[in-house]
Structures are given as C-alpha cells and as structure tokens.
Amino acid sequence: MEAALRPSNPATAAVANPAAAGATAAAARATAVRPADPDSRVVTPVTPSGAPLQRGIRWDTSLQGDVARAQQALDYLQRVASQLEALKADLSAKIAGRRDPARQIEARAQQLSSALASRGKQGGGGIDNQLDFRSAEPARTRFRIRGFDVATLQASGQQTYAFSVGSAGGPNLTATIEPDMTPEEIAGRLNRTLTPVKVQVSLDSEQQLVFSAPESEWAGIKDAIAISGRGRVDTAEEPPVIAPEEWNIGNPDALRESLREVMQALARVRRSQDAASAALSAAMARTAQPAIPEAELLAITGDFAATAASHDYQSLLAITSALVGVSRDRVQALLGLR
C-alpha cells in the first residue's frame, strides 16, 4: 500500500504538486532511480558532477571599489572643506580688523596640514595634491620637464624625439614634432607616445605642457626620464595647491596671500565634491539589476534549495565555500544599495 501511494517518477510528483516542481526537477538531476527490482523501489544515489548551477545573478565585481573610492573621497573632501571655510572666516576677520584670531588661525593651519598629509590614506586614493578627484584611476603627480615646452618645440623645426622612462621605453617611444603643430596637437602626440609607460601629457590653462604619472610610481620616474639629444632631463613637480605650513600671517600682505590660497583650494574642493558625487551616483546606478522573470527566480531558489537539501559532499562544499564571509551586515549593506 505504501509503495502504491509513493510515485516512482519525479515528473509525476511535479504534476501532482506544481509548487514543488522546481525543487523536484533539481532533485531529479542529482539522483537517479535504478529499478533493479520492481518491488524493492531502491533509490541509488549517483555521484554528482560538481558542476555549478547554470542559473544565477551576475554582479559587477568592480562596483564595491568604485563606491568605496567615491564615498571615501566625499568624506575626506567634506572635512577639508569645513577646515578651509573656518580658515577663510578667521583670515577675513583678521584682515578686516574685526578681531585677532592669530592663535586660532595657527591651530587651524596645523589641523589642515595634518589633513592634507593624510590625503593618500583617507582620501580613497583618488585625490591628488591639487585636491582634484579622479574617478577612473588612482591619483597622479603632475610635473614639468625643464626646457621641454611648447615654444621650444615649435621653434626647433621638425624633430623626432625618443623617450625612456625608468627601465621602460627606448627607440619605439618616439614622437615627431613639426613646427606648424598647435599646442593641442603637440600635447596629443606626446600623450599617445608616453601613455604606454603610464605618463600622460596635457595642457594647462596657459597652453603649456603638463606631464603626469601615477603617484605610487612617481618616486621611480622623476629622476629617470631621458630624451634623445638631451639625455637625463630635469623634472619639476607641481607644488600642492595649498601649503599651510609655509604661511606667514605676520603682515597684511601675507594674510591676503594666505586667504587667496584658501579660496582657490576651496573652489577646487567644491569641484572635486561635485565630481565625486557624480561618480558615486554613476556607481549606484550600476547596481540596478535587469528584471528577472518570476519563473526564473523560482527556478534559482528551487535549485539552491535542492542542492542544500542533498547530502553529498560536493554540493555541501560548494555551498559552504560560497557563503564564507557573508555576514548579516554585508547582506544589509548590499540591500541598502537598492
């Protein structure tokens, strides 16, 4: 009687109970029925192949890094902006003679110096010493090459320059500069030539050449750039946008110069905040997952439930390995991105 009530075909069970169809189908893939004896109804497990489930949700693996970089940058820039605003108010008050917050200005300047010194660790790695935010790559160090400027290149006639940067470069890193080229064309050609060795070239607001290299590699690059016909060249790193440790507030002219630096730095910080906010919004937009049909979601959960309910070692190993490090806090953080 018991044998008559127990269906021997998983497909029959699925028809009898549609809600369990997904789980039954998944269980059928992991188990084979061998009717050796019609009366015995012996179920013999088959060793699973260990192949991963075919269904699943695809996640952007770089998303977490992009979100973290933008969030750290925003937190850091907000602290720096608050310190700059306070310095701006104190310097303005001293210049106007409303009060004499000299000691307060000195204390705030030291606090700002400490914040700027911790930029690399606290800024998420995307803020350079000009307080500019870079969303797509780590911060870069900007520098000039003495004697290698637009005017000199335009006045030298047609010349082909070969570059080496550190241990990289050689005859293949060459750029031909012609006298009738515009500053934009010169910068573009040099940039294409040096990009393979991680050096970029652009123009500043005065149409002068500005080179840049990753901050993490600058120490090995700054004294190791050579150009054919010139040999080892001298580089000059662009100074930080603001250097509070060098301020002298003992006279009105020094106060006005310090105030000018503070206002310029504050304007840069505001632009960087806008850029970091835009980068964070773009990263958050990438969290949107395409709509998954309900039937497919049921199939995914059914497959997982069936695998978790099995007792073979390979299935349990796959599940426990996948769940290592998945904590309640992490799940809640991911759900909060929705």
Residue 161's CATH number: 3.30.70
78 Cβ contact list (under 8 Å, min separation 6)? 273
Identify the pLDDT of residue 13.
Answer: 39
Residue 142 resides in a domain: no
**pLDDT tens digits, one per residue of 95-107:** 988 888 889 999 9
Q: Do residue 223 and residue 156 come from a single domain?
A: yes
**Quick one: which of 69, 41, 79 has its CA closest to 266?**
79
Least-confidence region, from 196-210, 269-283, 311-325: 311-325
* pLDDT digit string, tens, across residues 35-61: 444 444 444 444 444 444 445 555 555
What integer pLDDT is reported at residue 295 of this predicted model? 83
Asked whether residue 288 is assigned to any structural domain, the reply reads no
How far CA 277 is from CA of 73, 81, 130, 287, in Å, comes to 9, 15, 18, 16
pLDDT of residue 183: 96
Give the model's pLDDT for residue 15: 38
Q: How far is CA 184 from CA 171, 188, 208, 310, in A?
A: 24, 6, 10, 66
* Residue that finishes a domain, picked among 233, 258, 293: 233
- Indicate whether 127 and 254 sit together in one domain: yes
pLDDT of residue 318: 75
Distance CA 139, CA 217 (A): 11
Residue for token pair 């000199």: 152
pLDDT at 244: 93
Regarding whether 36 and 162 lie in a shared domain, the answer is: no
Q: How many domains does the chain have?
A: 3
Residue 310 lies inside a defined structural domain of this protein: no
Q: Is residue 335 part of a domain?
A: no
Residue-wise pLDDT for 167-200, tens only, equals: 666 557 899 999 899 999 999 999 999 999 999 9
Region for residue 31 given its phi and psi (left: phi exceeds 0; alpha: psi -120 to 50; beta: otherwise)? beta
Mean pLDDT of 129-146: 91
**Alpha-carbon gap, residue 306 to 139, rounded angstroms:** 48
Q: How far apart are CA 58 and CA 110, in angstroms?
A: 48
